Amino acid sequence: NEKFKGMMTALLTPMDERGTVDAESLRRLVRHQLDRGIRRFYVGGSTGEAFLLTVEERMGVLETVVEEAAGEQAAIVAHVGCIGTSDSVRLARHAERAGADAVSAVVPFYYKASMKQIRDHYETIMAATPLPMIVYHFPGATGVQLSLDFYEDMASRPSCIGVKFTSLNLFELQQIRARCGDDFLIWNGHDEVFAGGGLMGADGAIGSTFNMMPDLFASFYRDMAGGDWSSVREAQTEANAVIAHMLRYDVIPYEKLVLYLQGVIATPTVRRPLTQFTPEERRAIEAFYAQSGTL
Ligand code: HMN
């Protein structure tokens, strides 16, 4: 599982003006990351607008990423989370056929599922594919708080290798580490606490802002691995100046606009109900971009 440790970019899904998935821009985004040394990708997660795409589109996005990263020794994690188990099973089987290295799934979040039903959901997905599973914890979106007992149970299953932990509660992250041991991997999910997650025991991080700041986060990760805490603090401060500005707007349209301004993707289009920025908002972000030494 070593290849999954480290920094993993949660890829955006570029779209053309009409909102159709833009495979060419997606290839350019993957290439842009590979050229900067990034070798881990989380495909079709929250950042990838997974729940605004059809199951078939999600399959297509994964295939494009696998193709573009072929021969690059990249680790590719396919997010297969759905609100219904059978779609997740379809996506997991497809992920294996497509050549992904692992699957990941957010909890089924629409119909209030009991812990037993959530367990069954993961068991069913894991039984459908030999690929390793990464649980995706994102209580801010799902409203589901997973218990330490749940993680301990998951950690006891050979196919579950860890959790992507998207919460600012780093005490909980540390408690998962303490309860589940070092073999259960933890990826920090909120880039604004990248350093904190690492300090509390994360083995890596999966983040959306690595799309637009790959160099900064790559050197940030190296400083963290080397224990250079003053550089780590500087890097987090620099990243957070951008992230704080982004959080005044909306994560996905903001990152797409920046990637567009960087010349990586062809349009900043997002899928509704996400919306494009008004002309004033766009001007404000463009002005920030123009003076930011980071982006
Ligand atoms: C994914 O599933 O696509 C990402 O891994 C999610 C990732 O954890 C991001 N979380 C959300 O967008 C909710 C973060 O990178 C986040 O965008 C960033 O920390 C700003 O809050």
> What is the model's pTM?
0.97
Tally of CA atoms within 13 A in the half-sphere of 293 that contains its CB = 3
Domains and CATH numbers, the chain: 2-228 (3.20.20.70)
Neighbours of 165 (CB within 10 A): 29
Residues 104, 77: Cα–Cα separation, whole Å:
7
Task: Identify the pLDDT of residue 19.
Answer: 95
Sorted by sequence, the CB contacts under 8 Å of residue 286 that are 6+ apart come out as 257, 261
**Exposure class string for 45-61: b at 16+ Cβ within 10 A, else e:** bbbbbbbbbebebbbbb
- Average pLDDT of span 208-224: 97
pLDDT of residue 156: 97
Q: Is 189 in the pocket of ligand 1 (CB under 6 A)?
A: yes
In whole angstroms, what is the distance from residue 39 CA to residue 67 CA? Answer: 14
User: What pLDDT score does 49 carry?
Assistant: 98
For ligand 1, is residue 12 a contact (CB within 6 Å)? Answer: no
Per-residue model confidence as pLDDT tens digits over 164-201: 999 999 999 999 999 999 999 999 999 999 999 999 99
Tens digit of each residue's pLDDT (9 = 90 or more) over 112-165: 999 999 999 999 999 999 999 999 999 999 999 999 999 999 999 999 999 999
227-262 burial, b for 16+ CB within 10 Å, e for fewer? eeeeebeebbebbbebbebbeebbbbbbbbbbbbbe
Question: What percent of the chain shows pLDDT beyond 90?
Answer: 100
The pLDDT score that the predictor gives to residue 7 is 96
Backbone angles phi, psi at 205, to 5 degrees: -150, 145
Best probe residue, ligand 1, of 9, 41, 43, 47 (max atoms within 8 Å of C-beta): 47
Torsion of CA 6, 223, 174, 113, to 10 degrees: -40
Average pLDDT score over the chain? 97
**In DSSP terms, which residues pair with 151 in a beta bridge?**
none
pLDDT at 17: 96
How far, in Å, are 21, 133, 172, 194 from residue 168 at the CA level? 31, 22, 9, 10
- At 40, is the secondary structure helix, strand, or coil? strand
Distance of CA 143 to the CA centre of its chain: 18
ipTM of model: 0.93
Q: Is the CB of 13 under 6 A from ligand 1?
A: no
Ligand 1 centre to CA of 143 (Å) is 16
| Residue 227, pLDDT score | 93
Query: How many residues belong to the chain?
Result: 295
Distance CA 164, CA 5 (A): 11
Catalytically annotated residues: 136, 164
